[in-house]
Amino acid sequence: MVQRIGAAGAELVPISGTQPDLLNRSEVAQALEREYPPRLRDQGISGTTRVTVLVTETGRVEQVEVSESSGHPVLDQAAVRVAQG
């Protein structure tokens, strides 16, 4: 699955199969707010980072990697931290 995480929230896009459900959307939104780099926020800089998330059958995040950079490494790192959480 590819998870797009932006200032407005997370969007899940399956690589294959059925569309997954994000059951903790409000928690993800709070994590995005917490992890968004203050320096970029203050400068009005935003972007979209696409991350690939491997989730086990029990729902544990096993692997997260950036599949498409926002162009801002610090923003990409924040997206990975949110996806890991």
pLDDT in tens, 11-63: 555 555 555 677 888 898 899 889 999 999 899 998 888 888 888 778 788 88
CB 79 within 8 A of CB 70: yes
pLDDT at 32: 86
For residue 28, the one-letter residue type is V
Q: Which two tokens stand for residue 8?
A: 């407005």
Q: What is the pTM of this model?
A: 0.72
Which residue shows structure tokens 């890991």?
A: 84
